[in-house]
Amino acid sequence: MPILACGINHKTAHIALREKVVFAQDKLALYLNDLATHENIREAVILSTCNRSELYCSTDDVNLVIEWFCRQHNIARHDIESSMYFYHDLDAVQHMMKVACGLDSMVLGESQILGQMKEAFSESVAAGSVGPLFNRLFQQIFAVAKEVRTHTAIGACPVSVSSAAVNFIKQTAAIPFDQATLLLIGAGVTIDLALRHFKHTSLKKIIIANRNIENASLLAQKYAAHVISLAALPSVLSDADIVISATGGVMPIVTKSMIEVRTKPLFMMDIAVPRDIEISVSECEHVSLYSMDDLKETIQQNVSGREHAAEKAIEMIKEKSLEFMRWLTSLDKVATTIRAYRKQVEDLCHIELIKAKRQLKRGHDPSEVMASFAYALTNKLLHTPSVQLRQAGYEGRLEVLQLAQQLFAIPE
């Protein structure tokens, strides 16, 4: 049962490509159904976040998977293939465990990815694309992630994309915060975390723009912020000094036409993938536009101190992934043994059945033919096990006898 983990992430692909290869959360069941229907891949899980789009599945056909990626996102093979990575079997299991533990994240040790992976698994279970193999695999992955969190310091002093964005703004924006109006587009976890890191900063005004006013209002109450709808963005953008955007939309929310000719600086941080702010906005006068990829250096500065914890986590992952692969190998051996034994029995039965049919054609008594058939088949089935058990008893290998009792359910 081959296992393949493949995709693109922040290490292999620029944001311009990552935002094209996003699996919409509300369409995961359709993607998985397409895999099963057209590629005959029955076990699969899709993980799509702002920094990665990955497929975990039971296949060894890399070409098939590349073509599937291209078809889902209407992208040419030569535009994506060089940015994709492929891990097989043991390497695939280790990669998936590293992802769940936050070891492959832009922010080393971040915990949000585990929740995203659990959600992806649940969606795949609901879609019927998880069987015995992936059920066992993901339970092992989640157990390892919990163990790593419990027994290492990988999650100590966590740095999030939101905190990195706020730090980047504080270090880069030449704007007095006590005179600044902060506009946040979105009202999800990322925006909530960003507001926490601005909590002790004296801002002139905080505005939250969101499709769902109710959700934005709940967030606004925590931070004494004002709430507007997305439709009111153009009028508010003219007064904003700092903008942070992080929605789950698939099309730009802020366009170049919304940004008027400005006489004062506007600092914009777009940490959504796909991006919320049109790239052409950066052409506007006095506008500084940054994206997720601009945070890499800031995040890297906060990694020091967790390298040792990461090394310890990797050792744990190696051990647990080998343990899983031993289980998988034993499962294959069991299946192979069962198939071989069934064939032996079927071959013996076939031989005796031919004899019985010949006897019936010659006019022998059917009752005697059936009795002869049963007797001969029983003798042949018991011959080899009986010889092996006698030999084991003669050599004093009592464990073989105990195993036989368990195998054939023989009471002691």
Catalytic residue positions, numbered: 50
Taking CA atoms, 196 is separated from 113, 300, 312, in Å, by: 20, 21, 31
Could you tell me the strand order of the sheet in which 205-209 lies? 226-228, 205-209, 181-185, 242-245, 266-270, 287-291
The residue ranges of DSSP E strands in 239-337, in sequence order, are: 242-245, 266-270, 287-291
Angle between helices 112-126 and 90-100 (to 10 degrees): 120
Query: 216: number of CA atoms within 13 Å, CB side?
Result: 20
Contacts of 106 (CB under 8 A, 6+ apart): 10, 51, 161, 292, 295, 296, 299
| Cα 294 to Cα 14, 84, 337, 355, distances in angstroms | 11, 21, 55, 80
Q: Which residues contact 266 (CB under 8 A, 6 or more apart)?
A: 237, 240, 241, 242, 243, 259, 284, 286, 287, 288
| Residue of 79, 78, 55, 58 lying closest to 68 (CA atoms) | 55
Residues 168, 294 contacting (CB under 8 angstroms): yes
